[in-house]
Chain A
């Protein structure tokens, strides 16, 4: 025990470059951000916590924050619903099927999120694939507005972030002892009972990990939110951008950034710790 303790600092040495980068590119700017947010006016004249008071007194700002968090949660939920069927299909497939599913999941990660977002604009646009198909089939009389809507944004973000959910869920499913499923089946349980009483509870860790990744990624996805959501839906990332670059109110946008960061990290922390308590005993075998 004492031996490993004395070796510890040396073992951490290889992590030093990354730690330095992290410090210079994340921690220091964050400290600067805190400092900036404490000025009363954009002219950096007087120190005061007024920006935070202003945020929480402003109905519009609070709504933007809540809607952004709601978007993250909705996208994470929808991804979760889609990830399990993919995971179960993966589990039930042979070698070739698994390779194919893995490829399809990884593929979007290999393209830039700008490209994927533009693909969604092509799909959802007024003359896009969905509209032209529905009009040709005569199912719709006039093109529906899909782009720049909440639903369109949720669907697009779900597709873009799905790999972050599917991979941990598949990993969890693979680690599930297949005899547990057989045991449940032998005891007389049908597919749905097996899924909800055995498979789902035992893969919760993967589902939570995926949920948190997708939630954080979707809530902060500036490009997709801006391009698919358009100017009509104002969310925290574009709100911050608008305040910083458009209005040039750096103290307020710094405060917005910090409030948003704390809110996202807070939810990640809260969901992580509460779910870990429910997942007790899962690794105990």
Chain B
């Protein structure tokens, strides 16, 4: 069994408009064979449109789609050899599990002997060998998803597309299925693209994540890099939790926070003196401190949540910015009482992101609540 059987995929300047509504704007992207990519973004960001274009259900209004360097925009969906796993699996409810998996093979006029062995092979792969004669309605969500994947892989696709594949599963099953599907796709060596609005899903599954916003690509990077070095305020607020503190640049590497103290950053802010900026600080990079510590920011504690391995403290600065602190459970200064004042400080200045303050009313704290 060869280890890479997937297409390399490239999008070049792809755009799509529904009437006057632009769903996707000048998107370029290249994906290596056997890579697992997640398209991540809030609803309406264009990720589903992008998937439909790759699948061939939509013809882009402009740009090129290339499989292994060959243009495919004019090839209809039924001749692209793409395995698709739909949000609610879209198994054919009137056909048995066997017939569902066999569907793509029969559509290709495969001889019935080959169909039989191939379907059995696929059902074994997804551990559904004993369910061949069941109807989809008699299966659990996780089992339906396995069948949907077997059906997609049965046609030996060059590309597997997964549209919100875990959203119909309950939370406990989701992580198990993510691990299972990831290892199946990786083991099979097929290029895979999955669409999701769930950042945890994208972070746990994908080799690289494409963050989309309003029809444009914000950033393409590995999960770690996205979390540690977000390229924009949007990515920062979308991936993981972040605290946003307003301030203005006072020197090349100094920012005076609206909430009080002036703090010295690890490197140049790359912004002009006097310009309004937003500092992004992850909850694990901020902790409760004594009031006399330099750079300490005053907050009023609004809630404390003991979440097992960490205690989460939520507070608000005098200027109204919400601050979330992840405090190690056995931390010595974990005495925050709801309603009382406290002081927080940033642990590691190198992990602080600096972005230009958005022109409109500052609302990134709202935007991260997806």
Q: Does chain B have a CB within 8 A of A189? A: yes
Binding site for B on A (CB under 8 A): 177, 179-180, 182-190, 193, 197-198, 201-202, 279, 281-285
- CB contact between A187 and one of B93, B104, B135 (< 8 Å): that residue: B104
Cβ contact within 8 Å between A188 and B93: no
Stretch at the interface among B75-83, B176-184, B233-241, B356-364: B75-83
- Asked if A281 meets B135 with Cβ closer than 8 Å, knowing A180-B92, A187-B155, A193-B107, the reply is yes
Cβ contact within 8 Å between A183 and B137: no
Binding site for A on B (CB under 8 A): 55-57, 76-84, 86-88, 90-94, 103-104, 107-108, 135-138, 151, 155
Which residue of B is nearest A191, CB measured?
B78
Name the B residues within 8 Å of A177 (CB-CB). Answer: 88, 90
- Distance (whole angstroms) from the CB of B366 to the closest CB of chain A: 32
- CB contact between A285 and one of B76, B108, B136 (< 8 Å): that residue: B136
- Distance (whole angstroms) from the CB of B59 to the closest CB of chain A: 14
- CB contact between B77 and one of A185, A193, A201, A202 (< 8 Å): that residue: A185
Which residue of B is nearest A193, CB measured?
B107
Cβ contact within 8 Å between B94 and A282: yes
Cβ contact within 8 Å between B103 and A186: no
Name the A residues within 8 Å of B78 (CB-CB). Answer: 185-190
Which residue of A is nearest B57, CB measured?
A182
- Asked if A188 meets B108 with Cβ closer than 8 Å, knowing A182-B77, A182-B86, A285-B136, the reply is yes
Cβ contact within 8 Å between A201 and B94: yes
Cβ contact within 8 Å between A189 and B103: yes
Name the A residues within 8 Å of B84 (CB-CB). Answer: 182-183, 186
Name the B residues within 8 Å of A188 (CB-CB). Answer: 78-79, 81, 104, 107-108, 155
- CB contact between A284 and one of B83, B90, B104, B136 (< 8 Å): that residue: B136
Give the docked Cα–Cα distance between A177 and B88 (Å).
Answer: 10
Give the docked Cα–Cα distance between A216 and B17 (Å).
Answer: 49
Cβ contact within 8 Å between A202 and B94: yes
Give the docked Cα–Cα distance between A279 and B82 (Å).
Answer: 30
Contacts beyond the supplied A186-B77, A186-B83, A281-B94: 4 A-B pairs with Cβ under 8 Å: A179-B90, A188-B155, A198-B92, A284-B136
